[in-house]
Structure 1
Amino acid sequence: MGDPDVLEMVQEEERRAGSEERFFEDLSSRESSFLISEEPRSAKRYNLFLRRRLMFKKDEQSKDSIFFRDGIRQIDFVLSYVDDIKKEAELKAERRKEFEQNLRKIGLELEIEDKMNSEDGKTYFVKIHAPWEVLVTYAEVLGIKMPIKESDIPRADKIPFSCMLGPLKLPRNVKHPHAEYFTAQFTRHRQELFLIEDESSFFPSSSRNRIVYYILSRCPFGIEDGKKRFGIERLLNSHTYSSAFPLHDGQYWKPSEPPNPVNERYTLCQNWARFSYFYKEQPFNLIRDYYGEKVGIYFVFLGFYTEMLFFAAIVGLACFIYGLLSMHDNSSSTEICDPEIGGQIIMCPLCDVMCDYWRLNSTCLASKFSHLFDNESTVFFAIFMGIWVTLFLEFWKQRQARLEYEWDLVDFEEEQQQLQLRPEFEAMCTHRKINAVTKEMEPYLPLCSRIPWYFLSGATVTLWMSLVIACMVAVIVYRLSVFATFASFMESEASLKHVRSFLTPQITTSLTGSCLNFIVILILNFFYERISAWITKMEIPRTHQEYESSLTLKMFLFQFVNFYSSCFYVAFFKGKFVGYPGKYTYLFNVWRSEECDPGGCLVELTTQLTIIMTGKQVFGNIKEAIYPFVLNWWRRRKARTNSEKLYSRWEQDHDLETFGSLGLFYEYLETVIQFGFVTLFVASFPLAPLLALLNNIIEIRVDAWKLTTQYRRPVAAKAHSIGVWQDILYGMAVLSVATNAFIVAFTSDMIPRLVYYYAYSKNAIQPMRGYVNNSLSIFLIADFPNHTVPSEKRDFTTCRYRDYRNPPDHEDKYFHSMQYWHVLAAKMTFIIIMEHVVFLMKFLLAWMIPDVPKDVVERIKREKLMTVKILHDFELNKLKENLRMNSSDFAKHLIIQENKVHLAKSAT
């Protein structure tokens, strides 16, 4: 860059490019006017002239080049647009012209590629380069930290048994692509302090595109309706520009060739975005350097969550294996399957009129399957998961603190997130007031202007959550409607002949209802996503952090109700308010309330949880992998109409899918909803952590693959934490203790078995023998009301049903027996004890584990001390140099004055 010949060439190229751009703009406007006035011959003549004019040096330009035509100035950002022949064409052209003029005034350098050079022959590309003076100015504005000295603190990479984890490790140059440095906020007036070897590579590409986007988001493009309009987002929303994106630094399938810089995209694809590397650690520093801290911290969180799931999955799998091995020793299922016990117990009909009596042993297989998830290990696993979730959140706080230090994010929130205003907020504000922090005038929106939108927002969220509840009730009505049909042909004469089947009416109805509920969930979620984003924009949040927090609250509340409402219904409501054969409860006085299987509702909760959780994860991965791949293939197929044209780097990226500002938001939301399935209902399904672990191993590589190969490069952004999601995780962790305690107490059959074992068993050798008969009450068939009695007449006098009620010969017949109150008291006692034990252990662990590790605290102190020392030495040396310069100038001044006096005397 210091060669005079090169500088002269660059200056000449800039002058030529500027004249060409003005020529192209004038020619494009003339071409548009010809198209509008429908003069095909003139348009054809100008197109031919333009095509020939723009073919200069085309053979010298590589399709992988990320530079201007001079091969020196790197492209930091690209805008694209298509000529619009509608009424707003002139307005859009005027906006673009003024916007680009203002960008040049700020100092950015632009180069325009005409549409005739593009593959589709329609798209213009505006390439943007930020020169050194612009970069240093806005690096200071944004408070970007840059290296001042190589760090003398050794890396904290040594972990126990690291030699055994060798196959999981990445090469050192991939894991740590750069040395560690002491850093300080960049200042133009202290450039000598920073380690600037090459101005073109001093700022990483992620910082460069972040700076350029900051300028684009605040650059004005005119005054409309008496208000100053600015920001690239407004131009994109009005379709003045069709896209705005930073370039990938090369192809993902091959390394770049000189003079292009090192292809970090290729390195990421080879060491991160490959499914064969599913067992490898992730190159977090390289992800951060290429995509920015906000994307990097998401993958750190997802990787840490997946590592912690490994321990929960092992314990859950062990509990499942225990249930599998003890299945044949389970006394309850043995009695149910025994022809002499379960085969002789006649159960009351499952629905009115249409349903027949049935024998208990027809649910033999279902009772064995229930034991897999409802056994002695259920309580242990519920308590373990309460401790696990505490350890996960506490260790994540430590990991996050370490990350803040390593990525120079300490005190970032005060510097960035709270002070940067959204361009949309600035554009909508007509009032101004003094900021209490900066003491400067800034835009201000009165609360009275926001209140109507807040009311609309709250009403919309409430309406959609009510709609979810209504849909769940509709699914319940479906289950009640088809239950009688299933029961009528599944529990017919065959059931009275000891035929055993896993597909009981309850299980069959639960399977079909769960699938239907999952489809309804996806449909509601599709529409609500768009409505919530629109409403959040209308609230006009002040900062990007406020915008994301508001949208997060809306989306999470809705999805919490959407995904979990059916599970809460099965766990805590189904089968709890059924009544008894002589006096059933009815929904809307039409449909009889659903009953649980004789083994309890835990199997149905497991089924519901498995279908929704697995279906969501499979659907999500297919959508994330196939959807962008198909769209990109179709977009490239449509764009490449002129195969003889150069398919340039910016055109290749233009044809990729857009990641969007909310791309990470949906990734976090997906992970948090999965976290809810793993924690809230894990007592009913110990394999949930294993399913989540397998999904996340695939999810990490799918996200890496699509981000590296199928999406445009997102604009780099900083973030020091996972934000509001951390508070949501803490809330779900607390709620999970209560839900699992209630599941064990009221949904599982564990407490009734324990009460029978200790209080009602009369067999000292086999204490659980007789439990099934004890858990079923007796009903006199003659007491059936006429409108509920089965149509088939049987010679039975009594039938059994699941409840603790007095027999027909008791003076308080069909009232709850004393055993019912004993069981209820035991359930409440268990809930209180379990919650107190788990919460006590959570608080102890949270108190014992520090939020910031001791070594990180020491490193932060060391870096602050060294930074202050380096800055002090720099200022001191600069002061000494100034004093030396000033003393030298003063001595020269005295000599000059003495010479003048001497000359005056000589002349006299």
Structure 2
Amino acid sequence: MKVTLSAVDTYETSFTPLVVIELAQDVKEETKEWLKSRIVAKKKDGGAQLLFRPLLNKQEKETLGNKENLYLVGASGLRLLLGAEAVGLVRECTDGTMRAFTYDTRRSFRGFHDDNDDFLTMAECQFIVKHELENLRAREERMIPGYPHAKLYPGKSILRRLLTSGIVLQVFPLHDHEALRKLEDAWYTRFSLHYQPIDSIRSYFGETIALYFGFLEYFTFALIPMAIIGLPYYLFVWEDYDKYVVFASFNLTWSTVILEVWKRSCADMTYRWGTLVMKRQFEEPRPGFHGVLGVNPVTGREEPLYPSYKRQLRIYLVSLPFVCLCLYFSLYIMMIYFDLEDWALSVHQESGTEWTGVLLYVPSVIYAIVIEIMNRLYRCAAEFLTAWENHRLESAYQNHLVLKVLVFNFLNCFASLFYIAFVLKDMKLLGQSLATLLITSQVINQILESLLPYWLQKKHSMKVKRKVQALKVDMDASLYKQVLLEKEMGTYLGTFDDYLELFLQFGYVSLFSCVYPLAAAFAVLNNFTEVSSDALKMCRVFKRPFSEPSASIGVWQLAFETMSVISVVTNCALIGMSPQVNAVFPESKTELVLIVVAVEHALLALKFILAFAIPDKPRHIQVKLARLEFESLEALKQQHMKLAAESLKEEPRGGKTETGA
């Protein structure tokens, strides 16, 4: 018997499902009805004024034996345009300027027509729906109907409370398979060395993900000069070239210039997308934030309040000692690694065979695997600690998490290299260890981040497809199949791990690549495959993430710049240790140290001068931003003058009040 899903067929033609909400299977009917009423209610009545439909009606759920509570959320064209104004969406006007979209001036924006539905991209529509759902706030309710333990208070985000209480299991946007197929064809399905369709990625996934792939592409091409220059240093006799001085000097200039040029490219892209001039909204408390109910002095709304001193106590008395303990443990593991190196070397010296020569690389491989395991375990602990610190804002949470993870990853990945370079002073072992750590980490990341999730997702997709085919569902139920497949996909947790991988790669290249010049070449090869593997996991492995407006790569820009400063110190020290430089100062080591320190300070000064001399924004972008600011001030002035004129018209003649008259 074939089953036709009439719920899908009877949708109004204006309803396009954008977002899926999955409720727990045992959710009470009164809770469902209350949530539906709040979502579809008008804005003036405290609702979101969105379209809300069940994926299956009761009869179809009984026929299919499906107990899942899946709902589709959409919005009318008018509602989306008003939502675009509410979130401050910036679009290009017919005169070429970028302005915040307003419904009243909609016809002045390029590409807008009353009868078109493609003025807003699907990613923008889904972002607007998410914004409206998250801004559904409690009014008189003191609890979620049917769940007395799920407390509410005026101003509390209803969706966040439903998520934290387990009533709503997940909220995710749907894929647009036709647009996704076009994007895949232009992005990664055909192997060729071409630029990525960054604008198309932005239209489908949003600015945050587009900026990551833009930075990945930019960083990969920026590595090519380092890779080309490094090849002759590796292929020819090292002693014939002043390798440390020339290569390290180029390294210092390169690491500074590429980061400054990236900021200009980033500003150019984000201005074109409208996020560079997009006004930042007032940040709401993050979902996990808790405290005693009080009144926010800025917004005047009721929300949890948590004393700052308690958070500081948790940071300095618990989190900081824990991080220090983890750093000590990392150093302890490093010393075990050097013991293994000594053991492998002694075995090789005793036997002298080719097989024991291979044994010399085993400790480095094992250590690289242990580093990856420790990084991932520490990441989980850092997330738990940062959440326990109870930060009010998501930005504060992310900054503290990034700081914890970067400090540990930096020491865990680079401590052994610093020890070999400046304590053991064994440049041969340094090059060997750097190569092993870099290549092993790249292979592990490719397997764990892309190949394994893709294999698991393919296995799950086949299982779901067999289940749907066994039900003999009509082809009209393609939406039902799509929701079943996508709801079981993994959730993309953001670009944190992707940027972290590039950050560590940048460290391997900029800190010690003069000792192992092939580091940049291996990084280039890895990144060319990384583009395809990351694109694959975005399109086929994970659920479609919500679009998030971004004007830059955020705190990662500062992280990369900090690494480039550290590379100045490292490379100057390596130059000072090189045989060529030591030959100039055969007796006076103190003079050598002083000269190296002076050169280091001079290079740091040059680095900061370059950073200052290269503007963060191109000249034409600066002019456009200044013009936009001037026009905004003029418009505000005109508005004030208009209000003043109206108030003068309403004032009674002779300056008398009505009672006086």
TM category (shorter chain) comes to 0.7 to 0.9
Moved more, 544-553 or 226-235: 226-235
Structure 2 counterpart SS, 1:573: helix
What CA deviation, in whole Å up to 9, does each residue of 1:333-373 have, x standing for no partner? xxxxxxxxxxxxxxxxxxxxxxxxxxxxxxxxxxxxxx8xx
Contact 1:486 1:509 in 2 (8 A): yes
1:701 deviates by: 2.1
What letter corresponds to residue 248 of structure 2 in structure 1? A
2:473 to 645, 655, 673: 645
**Residue 432, structure 1, aligned to residue 290, structure 2:** no
Radius of gyration: which is bigger? 1
Cα distance in 1 between the residues matched to 2:591 and 2:294: 63
What CA deviation, in whole Å up to 9, does each residue of 1:624-665 have, x standing for no partner? 321221121222233231302256336435534756463211
After superposition, residues 501-650 of structure 1 pair within 5 angstroms as: 511-574=361-424, 601-640=426-465, 641-643=467-469, 644-646=472-474, 648-649=478-479
Pick closer, same or farther for the CA change 1:508–1:378 going to 2, 3 Å.
Answer: farther
**Residue 73, structure 1, aligned to residue 15, structure 2:** yes
1:608 deviates by: 0.6
Cα distance in 1 between the residues matched to 2:332 and 2:503: 24
Pick closer, same or farther for the CA change 1:112–1:875 going to 2, 3 Å.
Answer: farther
What letter corresponds to residue 6 of structure 2 in structure 1? F
The match for 1:7 is none
Pick closer, same or farther for the CA change 1:679–1:510 going to 2, 3 Å.
Answer: farther
1:284 deviates by: 1.8
The match for 1:458 is 320
**Residue 314, structure 1, aligned to residue 164, structure 2:** no
The match for 2:659 is none
Pick closer, same or farther for the CA change 1:456–1:199 going to 2, 3 Å.
Answer: farther
2:73 to 122, 128, 136: 128
Contact 2:223 2:520 in 1 (8 A): yes
Give TM-score scaled by structure 2 length. Answer: 0.83
The match for 2:308 is 447
Contact 1:629 1:710 in 2 (8 A): yes
1:101 deviates by: 3.2
After superposition, residues 350-499 of structure 1 pair within 5 angstroms as: 375-412=241-278, 415-416=280-281, 419-425=283-289, 428=291, 430-435=293-298, 444-454=305-315, 455-490=317-352
What CA deviation, in whole Å up to 9, does each residue of 1:566-600 have, x standing for no partner? 1112112226xxxxxxxxxxxxxxxxxxxxxxxxx
1:545 deviates by: 1.8
Cα distance in 2 between the residues matched to 1:686 and 1:119: 61
Cα distance in 2 between the residues matched to 1:112 and 1:131: 17
Contact 1:140 1:185 in 2 (8 A): yes
Contact 1:525 1:559 in 2 (8 A): yes
Cα distance in 1 between the residues matched to 2:561 and 2:439: 24
Pick closer, same or farther for the CA change 1:433–1:57 going to 2, 3 Å.
Answer: closer
1:616 deviates by: 1.0
What letter corresponds to residue 418 of structure 2 in structure 1? F
Pick closer, same or farther for the CA change 1:234–1:650 going to 2, 3 Å.
Answer: farther
Contact 1:316 1:687 in 2 (8 A): yes
Cα distance in 2 between the residues matched to 1:550 and 1:719: 19
2:210 to 296, 300, 308: 296
Cα distance in 2 between the residues matched to 1:612 and 1:550: 27
1:202 deviates by: 3.5
Structure 1 counterpart SS, 2:268: helix
1:739 deviates by: 0.9
Higher relative contact order (CA 8 A, sep 6+): 2
Structure 2 counterpart SS, 1:424: coil
Contact 1:136 1:188 in 2 (8 A): yes
Contact 1:707 1:713 in 2 (8 A): yes
What CA deviation, in whole Å up to 9, does each residue of 1:284-308 have, x standing for no partner? 2222121111111112222221221
What letter corresponds to residue 432 of structure 1 in structure 2? V
The match for 1:202 is 119
Q: CA RMSD in A?
A: 3.6
Cα distance in 2 between the residues matched to 1:521 and 1:119: 48
Cα distance in 2 between the residues matched to 1:844 and 1:502: 52
Pick closer, same or farther for the CA change 1:549–1:193 going to 2, 3 Å.
Answer: same
**Residue 723, structure 1, aligned to residue 584, structure 2:** no
Cα distance in 1 between the residues matched to 2:624 and 2:322: 48
Cα distance in 2 between the residues matched to 1:77 and 1:606: 51
After superposition, residues 846-857 of structure 1 pair within 5 angstroms as: 846-857=611-622
**Residue 56, structure 1, aligned to residue 6, structure 2:** yes
Cα distance in 2 between the residues matched to 1:399 and 1:558: 30
1:612 deviates by: 0.8
Contact 1:184 1:867 in 2 (8 A): no
**Residue 284, structure 1, aligned to residue 198, structure 2:** yes
Structure 2 counterpart SS, 1:642: helix
In structure 1, runs of 5+ residues without a counterpart are 1-47, 62-67, 84-88, 153-181, 256-262, 331-370, 491-500, 576-600, 760-818, 883-908
Cα distance in 1 between the residues matched to 2:189 and 2:65: 32
Cα distance in 1 between the residues matched to 2:435 and 2:36: 54
Contact 1:120 1:639 in 2 (8 A): no
Contact 2:244 2:574 in 1 (8 A): no
Structure 1 counterpart SS, 2:617: coil
Give TM-score scaled by structure 1 length. Answer: 0.62
What CA deviation, in whole Å up to 9, does each residue of 1:823-868 have, x standing for no partner? x346524522541443243234224322222222233345566788
1:99 deviates by: 3.0
Pick closer, same or farther for the CA change 1:274–1:131 going to 2, 3 Å.
Answer: same
The match for 1:139 is 84
1:555 deviates by: 1.1
Cα distance in 1 between the residues matched to 2:119 and 2:565: 47
2:172 to 233, 239, 245: 245
After superposition, residues 748-787 of structure 1 pair within 5 angstroms as: 748-752=578-582, 754-755=583-584
What letter corresponds to residue 72 of structure 2 in structure 1? K
Cα distance in 2 between the residues matched to 1:120 and 1:233: 30
Contact 1:659 1:714 in 2 (8 A): no
Structure 2 counterpart SS, 1:276: coil
Structure 2 counterpart SS, 1:79: strand
Structure 1 counterpart SS, 2:202: helix
Pick closer, same or farther for the CA change 1:226–1:285 going to 2, 3 Å.
Answer: closer
Cα distance in 1 between the residues matched to 2:160 and 2:283: 19
Structure 1 counterpart SS, 2:214: helix
Cα distance in 2 between the residues matched to 1:131 and 1:693: 46
The match for 1:365 is none
What letter corresponds to residue 39 of structure 2 in structure 1? L
1:439 deviates by: 7.6
What letter corresponds to residue 532 of structure 1 in structure 2? A
For these two proteins, the number of residue pairs brought into alignment is 618
Cα distance in 2 between the residues matched to 1:874 and 1:69: 44
The match for 2:189 is 274
Pick closer, same or farther for the CA change 1:653–1:827 going to 2, 3 Å.
Answer: farther
Cα distance in 2 between the residues matched to 1:860 and 1:57: 49
The match for 1:673 is 504
What CA deviation, in whole Å up to 9, does each residue of 1:2-61 have, x standing for no partner? xxxxxxxxxxxxxxxxxxxxxxxxxxxxxxxxxxxxxxxxxxxxxx9xx97x74377xx5
Pick closer, same or farther for the CA change 1:686–1:119 going to 2, 3 Å.
Answer: farther
What CA deviation, in whole Å up to 9, does each residue of 1:660-712 have, x standing for no partner? 46321111111111111111112211111111112112212221222123222
